[in-house]
Amino acid sequence: MYYLSVEHGGRGGCIVNVASMAGLNPNPFSPVYGCTKAGIIHATRCYAVSEAAKKSNIRLNVMCPAFVDTPMFRQMAAGDASQTIGGDQTAVNAFIERIGVLSTEDVSAALIDILTDETRNGLILRCAKKTGNVYSTLTVQDV
């Protein structure tokens, strides 16, 4: 944020952290992965409401794609369920089928949309093949 900050010669801008739908919804096959992605989502929420971001003219959002056709995904889908809880490849495949698989082009298009629309700030962009792209707010309650 320092280099984007208008206070330090920057023009402001947009930071998009990439997490995963696994950080929003229970994923019974990889809870540790989901926890790390939930941490990214929470950190983005914290920064999005910070005075530093507001003063610096910086927008912060988080993109949460579901399954994406990447080498890591293909390894899991091809039968290496050994890294999942329970190691049940049939259950893993049923889970994948239910949610669908995004292409890297789908994810790139969603990223361009959230980066270029200057009205988008403090949002979660949920990306899934079967439901499309859905924005939701990063609501924060006063304590």
* 66-119 confidence digits (pLDDT tens): 999 999 888 877 776 555 666 677 887 888 898 899 999 999 999 999 999 999
Say how far apart CA 28 and CA 32 lie, in whole Å. 10
Does residue 1 belong to any structural domain of this protein? no
Does residue 99 belong to any structural domain of this protein? yes
User: What's the whole-model pTM score?
Assistant: 0.85
Q: Which of 116, 142, 113, 141 is nearest to 125 (CA)?
A: 113
Does residue 69 belong to any structural domain of this protein? yes
Does residue 126 belong to any structural domain of this protein? yes
Does residue 123 belong to any structural domain of this protein? yes
What is the per-residue pLDDT for 85? 60
Does residue 143 belong to any structural domain of this protein? no
From 2, 33, 47, 135, the catalytic residue: 33
What is the per-residue pLDDT for 11? 83
Residues 4-62: pLDDT tens digits?
887 777 888 999 999 999 999 987 778 899 999 999 999 998 898 888 888 888 999 99
Does residue 105 belong to any structural domain of this protein? yes
SS3 content of the chain, % helix, strand, coil (to 5): 45, 20, 35
What is the per-residue pLDDT for 139? 65
Beta bridge partners of 123: 137
What is the per-residue pLDDT for 9? 78
What is the per-residue pLDDT for 143? 55
Instruction: Give the structural domain span for 96.
Output: 6-137
Q: Is residue 33 flagged as an active site residue? A: yes
The domain that holds 31 is classified in CATH as 3.40.50.720
Does residue 142 belong to any structural domain of this protein? no
What is the per-residue pLDDT for 81? 57
Looking at the structure of the chain, the number of domains it has is: 1
What is the per-residue pLDDT for 26? 86
